[in-house]
Structures are given as structure tokens and as C-alpha cells.
Amino acid sequence: SSLRTNSWLSLPPPPPPPPRAPPAPSAPAPVLPRDGGASTPPPTRMSVNCSSEPPSSDIT
């Protein structure tokens, strides 16, 4: 029993999780869309239409 405990103590501590600090600074990115929120929806719609057109042509 004591040997097992020693083994556990001997094992190195688990590696620390990846730092989540870097991603935090990225938060400002989402803020940009906020300003041009109306500008974001149009691009998305265009993308969907463009993607839907090619497949339709192929099927026909």
C-alpha cells in the first residue's frame, strides 16, 4: 500500500492545460462584426446562394 502511494507521489504532476490567455485578446475580433452587424448577414447569404447554384446546375 505504502509503495503504491510512493509511486503516485513519484509520478510528475499532469501537464498544465494550454494557456487560455492568448484567445482572450482575440475577443476584440467579435466586436468588429458588432459595428458592421448589418454588413455581416449579406455576405453569408451570398455564400449560401453561390454554393447552392453549382450543385443545381450539375443535377440538371
pLDDT for residue 52: 52
Map residue 22 onto helix, strand or coil. Answer: coil
pLDDT for residue 3: 54
Phi–psi pair at 42, nearest 5 degrees: -50, -55
Q: With contact defined as beta carbons under 8 Å apart, do 40 and 33 qualify?
A: yes
Quick: pLDDT tens for 3-49.
Answer: 555 555 666 777 777 665 555 554 445 555 555 554 445 555 444 54
What is the mean pLDDT of the segment spanning 44-55?
52
